[in-house]
Amino acid sequence: MRALIFIALSIFASTSYAQQQEALKKLSSIMASPELTQEAYIAGEDRITLCGYCHGKDGNSTRSHIPNLAEQTPVYLFTAFEKFASGERNDFVMSKAATMLSLDDRVNIALFYGMQKVKQKEAVDPSLHDLGETKFTQICSACHGTNGEGNDDMPRLAGQPAEYVRQTLTLFRAGGEHRPGSLMIPIAKQLSDADINALASYVQGLNP
Ligand code: HEC
Ligand code: HEC
């Protein structure tokens, strides 16, 4: 019966609020059960062939302007698909990719990628460490975690490629047209170019 409901839901490219809440509940009940998590992991792995070209099969991105998905919080990953599919978040590739995934796919892929491990990288420039650390501790850690580990809908930042972080913060500062209404827009407006470079370098080297 459940499977039937999800097949029916997946016919609609964009899902209602109630359906999203239902899927989020499903996500947390899967996460609470080792057997269901294992099933979802296998089902997710089956659906990431295309994604792997950009985000890596193990969730470590293949290019510096593409985010890692490894160890990202499953709730954030799932919510990101919903935002791309609904138009709340815009990206040329991702907006199309998200509408091709059923609700089940989104749940399974979020779990699969969330369970991968980030490959540790160095900070880009050690001389930016102190400024990066100061700004991160003052402004960012309250939401993104002391070491950028994230939590539920607060994304993990630790180990994200510096170039992705730099570009993303710069877009938020410019008004966030790619993610209208994001909490990050007013926060990024306080940052100078030097702050953004230091934060991007620092975050890439974080290893919670
Ligand atoms: C051609 C490259 C490409 C492919 C293929 C691709 N992505 Fe992406 N993806 C990106 C880029 C670039 C971004 C960053 C977009 C932005 O700046 O908002 C992104 C963002 C994301 C995000 C948000 C991550 C975050 O940290 O906010 C998720 C989740 C995601 N992709 C999942 C997927 C999945 C699942 C697939 C396969 C169905 C996929 N992507 C296929 C390039 C790609
Ligand atoms: C009030 C809580 C809050 C604070 C403080 C905050 N963030 Fe965020 N941040 C968020 C949320 C929530 C998101 C996801 C929002 C979205 O999708 O637009 C996010 C998204 C991001 C992203 C995009 C992540 C991705 O994977 O695409 C980056 C980069 C980021 N924040 C960096 C920072 C930095 C650097 C600071 C400190 C200067 C900071 N944030 C402070 C809540 C916060």
For residues 177-201, average pLDDT: 97
Express each pLDDT in 20-57 by its tens digit: 888 889 999 999 999 999 999 999 999 999 999 999 99
Largest Cα–Cα distance in the chain? 58
Tell me how far the alpha carbon of residue 19 lies from the centroid of ligand 2, in angstroms.
26
**Residue/partner pairs of 137-141 with CB below 8 Å, 24 or more apart:** 139/187, 139/190, 140/199
How many residues comprise the chain? 208
Ligand at shortest distance from the CA of 204: 2
Percent of the chain predicted with pLDDT > 90:
83
Q: Whose CA is nearest to atom 37 of ligand 1?
A: 51
Confidence of residue 13 (pLDDT cuts 50, 70, 90): very low
Confidence of residue 15 (pLDDT cuts 50, 70, 90): low
For residues 157-164, average pLDDT: 98
Is residue 193 exposed (0-12), middle (13-18) or buried (19+ Cβ within 10 Å)? Answer: exposed
pLDDT higher than 70, residue 10? no
pLDDT higher than 50, residue 1? no
Confidence of residue 18 (pLDDT cuts 50, 70, 90): confident
Express each pLDDT in 53-79 by its tens digit: 999 999 999 999 999 999 999 999 999
CA 142 to CA 45: how far, in whole Å? Answer: 33
Answer for the pair 183, 175: CB distance below 8 angstroms, yes or no. no
Mutational pocket test of ligand 2: of 61, 187, 196, 201, the residue with most ligand atoms within 8 Å of the beta carbon: 187
Express each pLDDT in 97-137 by its tens digit: 998 889 899 999 999 999 999 999 999 999 999 999 999 99
Q: Residue 204 is encoded by which pair of tokens?
A: 């890439």
- Residue 5: the pLDDT is 44
